Amino acid sequence: MRGSSSSGAVGLSLYLISSHLTHDCDPNVEITFVGNTDKAAIRTLRPVAKGEELHVSFVSTDLDRETRQKKLSSQYRITCSCDKCKAENAAAEEKTKAEAEEKAEKESEEKTSQEAEAEAEAEAEVTETSEQN
């Protein structure tokens, strides 16, 4: 079936085994097609322990967390909470927290500097007034 979509899709298929795979941003398998045929195969990307669930990535693993989440939400209606996303989210929160602390420290230093300047100016005025009297 030729579609009018811009993806260049030529047809649709349902492969029962691969339809049971779940998404993970750090997949342990990928779906490949053998030669130029319609035969799908599941290829491991790393050693898989007996009983370990098989995961594929529904989006490119090269994308940043925010882009992956947007694509997964818009295309698959899912919010990923895999270990990779959790770790990247924690790192992003830590970075935001560190940036906020750095900003607060800088503002505090600027305020202290301004207060010191104002105090020095006030002392200079007092000294000048005393000398005039």
pLDDT digits (tens, 9 = 90+) for 71-97: 999 999 999 999 999 999 999 888 888
- pLDDT the model gives residue 13: 67
Residue 11: predicted pLDDT: 65
pLDDT at 37: 80
- pTM of the model as a whole: 0.60
Sign of CA dihedral 104, 109, 110, 116: positive
Q: pLDDT at position 2, please? A: 37
Taking 50 as the pLDDT cut, the residues of the chain under it are: 1-5
Separation between Cα atoms, residue 126 and residue 49, nearest integer Å: 80
